[in-house]
Each structure stands twice: as structure tokens, then as C-alpha cells.
Amino acid sequence: MWCSYACGSSEHGISRRGFLAGAVGGALGALSLDAFNRPAFTRELAKQQKRVLMIWLHGGASQLETWDPKPGTKTGGPFQAIPTSVPGIHICELLPYTAKQMHRLAVVRGLNTAEDDHGKGAYIMHTGRRQEPAMKWPHLGSVCAKLLGDGDNPLPGYIHITPRGNGGVSSEDAAFLGPRYASVALSDGHAPANLDRPAGLTENADHQRHTFRIHADERFLRSRRTAQTEAYTQSYDQAAQLMRKHDLFDIAKEPPAVVDRYGRHDFGRHCLMARRLLEGGATFVKVAHSNYDTHHENFDFHIEQLGEFDRPFATLLDELDDRGLLSSTLVLVASEFGRTPKINRNYGRDHWSRAWSIALAGCGIKGGVVSGKTNAEGTAVTDGQVHGGHLFHTYLSALGFSSKKNFYIDQRPIPIADPKASPIKEVLA
Amino acid sequence: MTAAPAPKIDPAKMHPLKEYKHDSPLIGCRFDPSGQFVFAGAQDNNVVRWHLESGKKTLLTGHKSWVRALAFPAKERILFSADYAGRILAWLAGAEEPKPAYILDAHRGWVRALAVSPDGTTLASCGNDQLVKLWSIPDGKLIRELAGHVCHVYNVVFHPDGKHLISADLKGIVKVWDLAKGEAERELDAKILHKYDPSFQADIGGVRGMACNADGSLLACAGITNVSNAFAGVGNPLVVLFDWASGKQKHLLQPKVKFQGTAWGVIFHPDGFLVSVGGGNGGMLWFWKADDNKDFFSLKLPNNARDLALHPDGRRLAVPFFDGSVRTYSMEAPAAKSFGRHQGNSVAV
């Protein structure tokens, strides 16, 4: 299913012009929500803005080296399990800082997504659904941008901080929700291109240009006022606001001690950027950490990658809490799948989706709990088995929405989450 | 009547001798100085001892994680074994049921390698805490910490002169330490054994095997190079041969026939040639002369090999494998009569 109002361009570069196009396109939509109509949504926002932070461990982090260690078993690998801030809950020794955050975390150990392909696994974990030939489902980020987003927010609703790449907008992520809710990638955490006023344009000239455009718009609107023209005008205002927020993208504004706490490596910088964006009003921020696809030397690579992940992640939770944001920010740490309990001949672990784990924290999440259980060698879920659909319901429920509601597209109801699944109650506050 | 001269060592006559089985993958091995036993470190946290002749298997239990590093003083049957939980255990290797004589909480994180000084008094260890440590063998007391590496230290050996220690890390930095001063004296460059893979944003490589020749004129560092895909282990084994005096690379020793994987161990044979073992896409043994960068002989192994040890008689090699076996190989022409099947846990192969 395609968005009936999309601009159709999926490859435009990230820029002010890109935002403008997205904003105009989004405003042209015929989409409506039964449960999330604008006035009700605005009232809810007035009470408390909610937001989401997704940490994406790209390539498939090992559950045995993170949330579900099995030391001393044939599949356990060389690492030990360490106690956490919650008595009785142990996680892998590679996460000592995260272990001190366990009272804020809920670990889901009963995940069986039954999909060992990177792309298909990522799709499940982002949409809560399996890929279907006739239907494209929106990413959680796009759904949250739609449900939680503020029309006056100059920041993109779904921001994706990537370790590298060219940045840009991915309209496909929004599926039928339309490009307004597409993910906007910030490559290596850099600000969108063309965010600053061009060097050759003085502030005065820019102001005069803006004033002239307003006059022209007003004249045009007197005879041809439509939703489209209003959106067009509004998008310029949003762009101007975004330009005024350009400091959000500059972590040099942070005290050096804070930068040090996050770590002066890419993932540390990106986590700090995520905190700045969330604090600055962003709705959904995804931070990708690469890479965990450890078919070879799984243990050495997990030492290195989790050594980068652990402290910035823990720092981020601390700082969100210190700022009073954690209770209104849903945090999730996920991958496309886990890794095989069996250790291969090259000290590697391969793709494994039958029994793996993710972690949650923050808004609507009960801290210090573990949901689901795997057997002694981690080869199968023995209790509390869930799949991607359950996770999607859980995210929505944690954010305070009924996950059984529908989107409506041209009067056709589309369940927001897989109707065959339900929230994981044990992890909900 | 005079004894018949011992057969000439000839790697080209290499053939398998025996197979000693364990039920967990093996990652390191050493012969004891008496030559009666072979010891292997396993992924089930055990050290396994086999009597070479009878094949009798004994488990040395006490480690808390995988054991790769094993070392003996040249003339004593004290085994030092180290695990990935940071501990070093000292054992009376010949005891009927060996128990740890002492346990050292040696490093934070993995202990990667051990070495014993030529005079048998000092044990060196290195690990993921970026440190090299020196221990008094008689009492297990820490003598000195050598700091200076900025990443995981993968290997350590004593130079035969007894005055220098050599350590090497993930990034191929080889440090030569003056033991009297406790200071790094110089660095050798084995960076060809490391790569930061920008696609996966991770480091791969490291000095996985290291050895000096008997007179100390050469140093060999083994690992992986030409890595095109870190997470699939796509690269080729390499031994970097250094001239000790100048510290310069003398040769880059590569397999004549391309092999995908890592050189996990390297030794100098007293006759002057080098032997390295590889694991990755199968297992291989390679033999080089010190003045030729292409191997003069190689042997395909039946499984992924993880380490390499030379028997004190200089005629046999032991290789630990992913399939849980230690296999021994002879570098002499095979005897006319084949070996029979042994009781216990070893079989002729």
C-alpha cells in the first residue's frame, strides 16, 4: 500500500528544502486516525510530551554476550555473568555500566522472531510485522512521529543517527503514513545540510526575502486558500525554527567532562547528540551502532563493540533521568536478531532469531524485570515466548496508546499493531 | 653395538601420529619439558592432559573461563595456564591428579599469553587490560607491571638473551622491554597484522603467535593480513619475520597456496626453519626457511587448527583443533609398521 499523497521522491537529500518538501507533502494527506485525532492528541501533548530513543545494534548483537549470559555452558562463551543493580538479575560482564542501570531496565529474554535474514529481521524489529508482498508497514519511528509528533515541531519526527553514509530521507520507512513521517538520517551525527543561512546572504536580506514571501503568500491566500497552501507557508516557518535550533546538532556546546562521560568515539558522540535532540524536542531518535555481525571472532568483536556501547548507553540513561526526561522517554535496545548459541569453528556466532533478547527502559516500562526465559544453553525459549508483534504492542502501550487501534486510510482500517499479538504485560509499568 | 642414528628431521615426511580426543573445542597446547605429556586448553574451561604413549586423559579443573595460554619453565614440570577470566593457575604438571599450587588474579579481562624466562625464574603474562606483568615463579608474587600498550596485548615472549621481553598487541605494535630498567626500549612494526575495518567499524588482527629463534637473531609474529571482511574472517595468514638487531622486517612469510584464515601460532625449529599453523577455512601447517618468503612445505589438516607446539625431541608437533582433538605429527619418515590403536582417549591416525 502506498501513501496517497506522497511526493513520491525517496531520495531527496536532507536539507531545509528536503524538510520543506516533506512538510508540504505531509500536509496534503488524506490520512486520519480514529483514536489520535488532532485535538485530542494536542491535549495529550499538553500534559506531557513523550518521545522514543531506539539504540540499534546493527548486524545482530549476541544475546549471550549481553542480556542472557550462559557462563559455564557449552554455548556460553568465555565471558562471565555479573550481578546488576537488581539482585538476582545477571547480565554479561561486557556491560558493567549497564548492569548498574538494571533497576531502570526491562529485559525481554523470550524473543523468537523466526527470521535469520538481516533485512527481514530488521523489518520485523522496526515494524512489528513480517514483510508482505502487498503491504508495506511503517517503522516504529514513523508511527511515533505520527502519534507523538507535534505539527509545530521543526525537528523531523523520526531522526536516525547513522555511523556513516550520506544522510537523507527514507520515505519507505513511513510507508502509508507518508513522507512527512519518513526517517531523516544524520550521517555520523552531522547536522542536516544547508541548515545555516548561506554565507552570501545577510540576515537583513534574508529577513527582507522572508517578508516579501509572506506578503506574496497572503495575497495568494486571499483568493486561493487551501490546506496545501497553508502547509506550504507553515513549512517555511518550521524551517526557520529549525535554523534557530541548529545548536542542537553541535555537541561542542557540551562541557568537555560531559563529552568524556559519553566517550570521544562515534557512538559516544552520537548518544550525546541523541540526548541533545531529545531534550530539544525530538520525538523519535534512533542511534545505530555498528557492527555486531560477528561470524568470525565473535568474542573479540563483542569486547570492542560493547566496550563502546556500555558506558555511553548508561550515561544516556543517567542524563535523561537527571533531566526528568526518562519517565517520558521510551528507550529500546534492539537488533535484527541475536546470534547462535553454537560457537562456530572461527570463534564466531551466526544469525539466530529463535531465542534472543532485547532491553527496554523509561516511559511506561517497569524497571528491574526480566520477561521470558531460555533453556540452559540458550537454544530455545522455555517461557514467555514473544515475537516482533508483541514488541510493537508493548512499545505503543508503554507510550500510553491502545495498541489495538487502527489507522484509517481512505476509510479503510489498518491495525496499528499486529492484531494477533498483544503487549508484554510483565515489562509494562 | 652402536645405536642407529636418529632419522633425519624432514618436514616433507610429515605424517600424523596420534589423535587425543576431548569433548570441547581446544584453543592452545604445549608439551611438558619431559616430553611425556601434551596439555591443551579448552573452551569448557578445562586444561586437558594426555599421556602421549598411553593416551590417558586427565582433566585439570579450576579455571573460570577458556584457557589458551600455557607455559612451562624449560626444565621443570610446572605448568602455568591462564584463562579469559584474568587468572593464572600454577600446576605440578606430572602429579597423578594435578591441583593448582597457586592462583594469581593476574589481569582485568582476558589473559592472552604467558612466557617463562630462560632462567626459569620469571613468568610473564599479558592481557586485555593493556598490561604486561612479571611474576616470581617460586612464590607467585608480582615483580613488575609494564604499561605502555594502548590496546589489548596479545602476546609475550622472553628474548633468549634473558635481558629483554617482547610484547605485541592487537594493532601490531611490538614492544621490546629492557627488563633491568622496566622500560620499553624500542618498537617493531607488525601493523600489517592489523586492520581497522571501516565497514564493520571494528579492529581485526593482532599478533596471535610469536617466537624467537634459539640464538635470538630472529623474531617471528603470526596473524592475519589482507582482511577484506573482518566479520567473515576473510583474510590471509602471515608471519612477519624480524631481524632482531636492526628491528626491521626481514621477510613476510606467506603460504604458497592461498589460504583464508589466521596464523594462530608460530615456532622456530632448532634446525632453523619456521613452522606456523593456520585455521579459518580449514587448517594448515606451513614450513618456511628464514631466507625464503614462500613455504617449502605445507600440510592440509583435518580441521580448524588453533595453536602449535614442538615436542622437546624436536621431532613431533602437536596441534589443537576446533573438533576437540589434539593431533600429533611426526617430522620423520613413517616407520614401516603402523601404530596400533591405543586404549583411553587416543587413537593412531
User: Chain B within 8 Å of A188 (Cβ-Cβ)?
Assistant: no
Q: Which of A297, A338, A340 has the alpha carbon at shortest distance from B202?
A: A297
Q: In the beta sheet, which residues pair with residue A55? A: A287, A333
Three-state secondary-structure class, residue A313: helix
* Segment B158-162 mean pLDDT: 97
* Segment B120-144 mean pLDDT: 97
Q: Do A72 and B232 touch (CB under 8 A)?
A: no
Residue B116, exposed/middle/buried by CB under 10 A (0-12, 13-18, 19+)? buried
pLDDT bracket for residue A150 (50, 70, 90): confident
- Phi and psi based region of residue A305 (left: phi greater than 0; alpha: psi -120 to 50; beta: remaining): alpha
Q: How far is CA A285 from CA A54, A144, A198, B306, in A?
A: 6, 10, 27, 43
* C-alpha cell recorded at residue B327: 593431533
User: Is A213 inside a domain boundary?
Assistant: no
Q: What is the mean pLDDT of chain B?
A: 94
Q: Which residues of A85-111 are buried (b: 16+ CB within 10 A; e: fewer)?
A: ebeebbbbbbbeebbebbebbbbbbbb
pLDDT, residue A11, reads 29
* Cβ–Cβ under 8 Å, residues B44 and B60: no
User: Chain A within 8 Å of B76 (Cβ-Cβ)?
Assistant: no
User: Chain A within 8 Å of B201 (Cβ-Cβ)?
Assistant: yes
Q: In the beta sheet, which residues pair with residue B91? A: B79, B100
On the question of pLDDT at B75 being above 80, the answer is yes
Cβ-based neighbours of A392, under 8 Å, separated by 6 or more: A127, A128, A129, A140, A403, A417, A418, A421
What's the rounded Cα separation, in Å, for the pair A307 and B72?
33
User: Is A211 inside a domain boundary?
Assistant: no
What domain count does chain A have? Answer: 1
User: Is A376 inside a domain boundary?
Assistant: yes
Q: How far is CA B75 from CA A322, B28, B31, B117, B304, in A?
A: 61, 20, 12, 11, 31
Q: How far is CA A321 from the centre of its chain?
A: 18
Closest CB from B200, B232, B261 relative to A290: B200
What's the rounded Cα separation, in Å, for the pair B29 and B79?
11
User: Is A190 inside a domain boundary?
Assistant: no
Cβ-based neighbours of B68, under 8 Å, separated by 6 or more: B27, B28, B41, B82, B84, B112, B113, B306, B307
Interface with chain B: mutation pick from A64, A162, A297, A308, highest number of B CBs within 10 Å: A297
Structural domain boundaries enclosing A317: 31-149+250-427
The torsion angle over the Cα atoms of residues B17, B22, B25 and B28, rounded to 10 degrees, is -60
pLDDT bracket for residue A194 (50, 70, 90): confident
User: Chain A within 8 Å of B200 (Cβ-Cβ)?
Assistant: yes
Share of chain A above pLDDT 70, in %: 86
User: Is A199 inside a domain boundary?
Assistant: no
pLDDT, residue B3, reads 62
What's the rounded Cα separation, in Å, for the pair B223 and B204?
10
Strands B164-169 and B309-310: unpaired
Residue of A nearest to B63 (CA): A72
User: Is A295 inside a domain boundary?
Assistant: yes
Q: Do A291 and B279 touch (CB under 8 A)?
A: no
What's the rounded Cα separation, in Å, for the pair A280 and A270?
15
* Cβ–Cβ under 8 Å, residues A276 and A248: yes
* C-alpha cell recorded at residue A212: 516579501
* Segment A213-223 mean pLDDT: 82
CATH of residue A413's domain is 3.40.720
Closest CB from A74, A80, A346 relative to B233: A346
Interface with chain B: mutation pick from A346, A349, A350, A377, highest number of B CBs within 10 Å: A346
What's the rounded Cα separation, in Å, for the pair B22 and A414?
57
Task: Say which DSSP state A193 is in.
Answer: B
What's the rounded Cα separation, in Å, for the pair A285 and A204?
34
Q: Which of B309, B325, B301, B84 has the alpha carbon at shortest distance from B209?
A: B309
Using a CB-CB distance cutoff of 8 angstroms, which residues of chain B are in contact with residue A348? 231, 233
pLDDT, residue A105, reads 98
User: So what's the ipTM on this one?
Assistant: 0.94
User: Chain A within 8 Å of B98 (Cβ-Cβ)?
Assistant: no
| pLDDT tens string A316-333 | 999 999 999 999 999 999
Q: In the beta sheet, which residues pair with residue B329? A: B16, B317
| pLDDT tens string A237-268 | 767 777 778 888 889 999 999 999 999 999 99
Q: Do A296 and B64 touch (CB under 8 A)?
A: no
Using a CB-CB distance cutoff of 8 angstroms, which residues of chain B are in contact with residue A343? 25, 43
Using a CB-CB distance cutoff of 8 angstroms, which residues of chain B are in contact with residue A300? 204
User: Is A9 inside a domain boundary?
Assistant: no
User: Is A224 inside a domain boundary?
Assistant: no
Residue found by looking up cell 580448524 in the block: B304
pLDDT, residue A218, reads 82
pLDDT, residue A95, reads 98
